[in-house]
């Protein structure tokens, strides 16, 4: 039984509306079909694939801890320069890294609950990778 791909990420949140807005407005995902579970939530789609499952909770999940097991999740995309401009328009702080030996450009951001995610862009995409604090 070989594994073929990562199917989705599941995020628990007490800020379901904020997470839906972030994933639609900032990440460009769309809310789509979800099974009729007996708890609140939303499935966020990239094309026809539900890649982020949001689960609404009554209590705030534990804040980020340095020693937590899952540190981040990542997505891949194209259009690095446009994405960075999009983040600046929406005042979303980010920092960028270039992976040694691979050249992949990583844009690191945090969702409304403080979860770390990065979006990976091909090595041949050029843009100003200066960190942005989300203020200007």
Question: Is 61's pLDDT higher than 90?
Answer: no
Residues 105 and 83 in one domain: yes
pTM comes to 0.84
pLDDT-derived band of residue 18, with 50, 70 and 90 as boundaries? very high
Q: Structural domain of residue 36, as residue ranges?
A: 1-59
Whether 39 contacts 56, CB under 8 Å: yes
SS3 88: helix
Question: Is 60's pLDDT higher than 70?
Answer: no
Query: What is the reported pLDDT for 105?
Result: 96
Q: Is 11 within the bounds of a domain?
A: yes
Instruction: Return all residues near 29 (Cβ < 8 A) that are at least 6 apart.
Output: 23, 44, 45, 46, 51, 52
Residues 29 and 88 in one domain: no
Burial 46-60 (b: 16+ CB within 10 A, else e): beeebbbbbbbeeee
Q: Give per-residue pLDDT as tens, 63-86.
A: 656 555 667 889 999 999 999 999
Residues 134 and 77 in one domain: yes
CATH of the domain at 38: 3.10.180.10
Whether 83 contacts 121, CB under 8 Å: yes
Average pLDDT of the residues of the chain: 90
SS3 58: coil
Q: Give per-residue pLDDT as tens, 115-136.
A: 889 999 999 999 999 999 999 8
Return d(Cα 54, Cα 29) in angstroms, integer: 12
- Number of folded domains that form the chain: 2
Sign of the CA dihedral with 31 first, then 47, 8, and 87 last: negative
Q: Is 66 within the bounds of a domain?
A: no
* Largest Cα span, the chain: 50
């Amino acid at each position: 039984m070989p594994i073929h791909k990562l199917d989705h990420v599941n995020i628990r949140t007490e800020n379901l509306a904020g997470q839906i807005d972030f994933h639609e407005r900032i990440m460009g995902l769309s809310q789509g079909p979800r099974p009729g579970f007996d708890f609140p939530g939303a499935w966020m789609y990239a094309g026809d694939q539900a890649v982020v499952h949001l689960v609404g909770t009554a209590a705030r999940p534990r804040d980020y801890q340095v020693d937590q097991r899952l540190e981040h999740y990542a997505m891949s995309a194209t259009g690095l320069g446009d994405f960075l401009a999009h983040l600046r328009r929406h005042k979303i702080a980010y920092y960028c890294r270039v992976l040694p030996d691979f050249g992949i450009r990583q844009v690191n951001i945090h969702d409304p609950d403080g979860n770390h995610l990065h979006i990976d862009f091909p090595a041949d995409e050029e843009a100003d990778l200066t960190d942005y604090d989300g203020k200007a």
